[in-house]
Amino acid sequence: MSFQIEINKTIVTVKLENKKNIKHCYLRILKADLIQIRANKYFTIFDAKDLINRKKEWIESSIQKMSKKSLNDDEFLLLGEKKKYENYKIKNIDTFYRGEIEKILPQKVDEFSKKMNLFPTSISYRKNKRTWGSCNHKNGLNFNILLMKFPIEVMEYVIVHELSHIKHKNHSKDFWNLVAVYCPNYKEVEKLFKNFL
Bridge partners for 84 per DSSP: 75
Non-local (6+) Cβ contacts of 162 within 8 A are: 120, 133, 134, 135, 141, 143
Q: pTM of the prediction? A: 0.68
Domains of the chain, earliest start first: 2-69 (no CATH), 76-196 (3.30.2010.10)
Q: Which tops the pLDDT comparison, 31 or 67?
A: 31
Confidence of residue 65 (pLDDT cuts 50, 70, 90): confident
Closest CA to 104 of 71, 139, 149, 135: 149
pLDDT tens for 160-173 read: 999 999 999 999 99
pLDDT tens for 179-195 read: 999 999 999 888 877 76
How many whole angstroms separate alpha carbon 43 and alpha carbon 60?
Answer: 23
pLDDT tens for 5-58 read: 888 778 889 999 998 888 888 998 888 788 999 999 889 999 999 999 999 888
Inter-residue contact 196 to 164 (CB < 8 Å): no
Inter-residue contact 134 to 141 (CB < 8 Å): yes
Parallel, antiparallel, or unpaired: how do β-strands 2-7 and 10-19 relate? antiparallel
Q: Which tops the pLDDT comparison, 158 or 56?
A: 158
